[in-house]
Structure 1
Amino acid sequence: MTTARDRFTGRTALVTGAGSGIGRTVALALATEGARVVAAGRRPEPLAETVRLIEEQGGKALAMSADVSLAADAEALVRAAVEHFGSLDVAVNNAGVFRGGPPLADLPEHDWHTQLATNVTGVYLALRAQIRQMRTQPAGGAIVTVSSTFGLHAASPGAAAYSATKAAVTALSRGAALDHIRDGVRINVVSPGATETSMSLRPGETETDRAERARATLPLGRIATTQEVAAAVLYLASDDAASVVGTDLVVDSGGSL
């Protein structure tokens, strides 16, 4: 049996949205456990910092600027993983955007299309490219999509469009899991609730304000850390979850109960 420190030794992992927040934490955690990491995102500077942090701890990583809403970019990420590191064994589809605040009737159409393009089309294109590679490999692969409790588990004012995209992401990933498990590709979902990232801050809210709100409203009394979400992602991506297929693992401090 592998230990907690070597579950991904000899494996290549692709993480989208790896320049900050949950994505960066997942990339670092995978590297800590032995994975070679392709860190993907739109902006090169944060990705370079993620790679620097991985290399500082002795890991191997490659930064790749990409827009996952473009098929050519999604395919280029998979190609880079195989060309640089020899395989694609794990993929974490974490890239996502939130354009919310106003009620749905006042949401600009551009914001709807932006969220749909990245959150839904981007996941579809990423899954398609990743599965096509993984099903050619003798050992297959594991994919984890980062969705949200907004969608199938919870709702919030000003987040109707975002919630719709995340519900679609969960359904898309679970459907793909059923389609491709016999191809040796195991797909699951992690749905975080409020997490220690800037996305969970309400307009004008400080981190102290957010902590006070969490103490009053969440059963656990606090929001999740990015490390806790990453732990759920790594579990589903690892052989520890070898018989877990198409699950949606909620990490939300009890908020959707």
Structure 2
Amino acid sequence: MGMVEGKIALVTGAGAGIGRATALKFAQEGAKVMVSDVDTKGGEETVEMILNDGGEAAFMKADVSSAGEVAALVDKVVQTFGRLDCACNNAGIEGKVIPMADQPEANYDAVMGVNAKGTFLCLQAEIKQMQKNGGGAIVNLASVAGLIGFPGLSPYVASKHAVNGMTKNAALEYGKEGIRVNSICPGGIDTRMLDSLAEQASGGAQSTQEMMDPLHPIGRIGRPEEVAELIVWLCSPRASFITGANVPIDGGYVAQ
């Protein structure tokens, strides 16, 4: 029996990277999965991968920075599968690598809109639905940038610190209702986002691996599948006494 056998899971930003790996892992561990992303092609590809592997999944396009679209997404989960047990709020953007004093206001608004406001809106809608079910488990995607600073990434750092703060608050407010809320803080993971950050930071002078591998004490960047393992475990009954945690999964990065 899988870790989340018979559960219903929602994963945002599931068209690629960590989100896709998480949706696949939920399905492999016995959950039915609602896949969401602003990228319809990527999201539908994720669903196809789950179906081809014998799982059950559906797709809905949604912009997490829109309260209306988030509410419609959670409603769609319930209409399709009957309830909501697990949620992974993964949708996020990196923004531009620019020193703080020169950061465009539009970049700040965009990053905070998806990463912070988007997580807030998803939490609201998911918690309200889980209250009807009598409980559930949520994992928010923060970052090591939610634990420490990164020069040039002030909006991203601010947004991920916000995610970690909201995680603690939600855990305190809804723990007695059987709703667990945790966040994870990945280090460098082999995704398009990391490629974008490495490209911006080095101006294309170094590959992602050349730039990022040496920064991690374990000697390499991580794989999306490694992050997915933690997310699904945190949503499972095996993590029943864990809530309000901001869990690093970073190859030792923040231990330095």
State the TM-score, normalizing by the size of structure 2: 0.94
Q: Which runs of 4+ in 1 moved over 4 A?
A: none
RMSD: 1.3
Distance in 2 between residues matched to 1:78 and 1:146, nearest whole Å: 18
Q: State which of 197, 214, 217 in structure 1 corresponds to 2:215.
A: 217
1:163 CA drift (Å)? 0.1
Percent of aligned positions with the same letter in both sequences?
Answer: 39
Match of 1:145 in 2: 140
1:68 and 2:64 correspond: yes
Q: 1:21-71, CA deviations, whole angstroms, 9 ceiling, x for partnerless residues?
A: 000000000001111100011121111100000000011111000011111
Distance in 2 between residues matched to 1:15 and 1:50, nearest whole Å: 11
Q: How many residues align?
A: 250
Distance in 1 between residues matched to 2:220 and 2:142, nearest whole Å: 20
Q: Which letter does structure 2 place at the counterpart of 1:103?
A: P
Q: State which of 223, 234, 237 in structure 2 corresponds to 1:236.
A: 234
Q: State which of 46, 51, 62 in structure 1 corresponds to 2:47.
A: 51
Q: Which letter does structure 1 place at the counterpart of 2:207?
A: D
The 5 A counterparts of 1:46-195 are: 46-138=42-134, 140-152=135-147, 154-195=148-189
Match of 2:17 in 1: 21
Distance in 1 between residues matched to 2:116 and 2:28, nearest whole Å: 30
Structure 1 pair 168–215 and aligned structure 2 pair: CA distance change class (3 A) = closer
- Shifted more, 217-226 versus 16-25: the winner is 217-226
- Shifted more, 122-131 versus 214-223: the winner is 214-223
Would the aligned equivalents of 1:196 and 1:224 in 2 still touch at CA under 8 Å?
yes
Distance in 2 between residues matched to 1:26 and 1:216, nearest whole Å: 26
Larger helix proportion of the pair: 2
Structure showing greater relative contact order (alpha-carbon pairs closer than 8 Å, 6 or more residues apart): 2
Distance in 1 between residues matched to 2:208 and 2:65, nearest whole Å: 31
1:246 and 2:244 correspond: yes
1:205 CA drift (Å)? 4.3
Q: Which letter does structure 2 place at the counterpart of 1:92?
A: C
Would the aligned equivalents of 2:84 and 2:130 in 1 still touch at CA under 8 Å?
yes
1:256 CA drift (Å)? 1.2
Would the aligned equivalents of 2:138 and 2:182 in 1 still touch at CA under 8 Å?
yes
1:198 and 2:192 correspond: yes
1:238 CA drift (Å)? 0.6
Aligned residue for 1:136, secondary structure, equals helix
1:41 and 2:44 correspond: no
Would the aligned equivalents of 2:4 and 2:232 in 1 still touch at CA under 8 Å?
no
State the TM-score, normalizing by the size of structure 1: 0.94
Which consecutive residues of structure 1, in runs of 5 or more, have no partner in the other structure? none
Structure 1 pair 128–215 and aligned structure 2 pair: CA distance change class (3 A) = closer
Aligned residue for 1:69, secondary structure, equals coil
Would the aligned equivalents of 1:214 and 1:221 in 2 still touch at CA under 8 Å?
no
Q: Which letter does structure 2 place at the counterpart of 1:167?
A: H
Distance in 1 between residues matched to 2:243 and 2:156, nearest whole Å: 25
Distance in 2 between residues matched to 1:114 and 1:72, nearest whole Å: 18
Would the aligned equivalents of 1:89 and 1:134 in 2 still touch at CA under 8 Å?
yes
Q: Which letter does structure 1 place at the counterpart of 2:165?
A: A
